[in-house]
């Protein structure tokens, strides 16, 4: 799920979601998955 989807679903400001995800990533609770140049999430296309 993308950060902006979380923000909309939880009705929480995007900067707060970004900060929470960065902190969870630092703790090893989540892993960042980046999009490829084709717009696909890595590993899904």
Which tokens sit at 15?
A: 């900067």
* CA 26, chain centre distance (Å): 13
Domains and their CATH numbers in the chain: 1-36+41-45 (1.10.10.10)
pLDDT value at 41 more than 70: no
Are 21 and 3 in contact, with CB atoms under 8 Å apart? yes
pLDDT at 24 (0 to 100): 97
Taking only the tens place, the pLDDT of each residue in 4-37 is 999 999 999 999 999 999 999 999 999 988 776 6
Are 23 and 32 in contact, with CB atoms under 8 Å apart? no
pTM: 0.71
3-state class of 21 per DSSP? helix
């Amino acid at each position: 799920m993308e950060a902006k989807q979380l923000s909309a679903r939880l009705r929480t400001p995007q900067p707060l979601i970004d900060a929470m995800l960065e902190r969870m990533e630092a703790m090893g609770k989540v892993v960042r998955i980046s999009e490829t140049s084709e717009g696909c999430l890595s590993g899904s296309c």
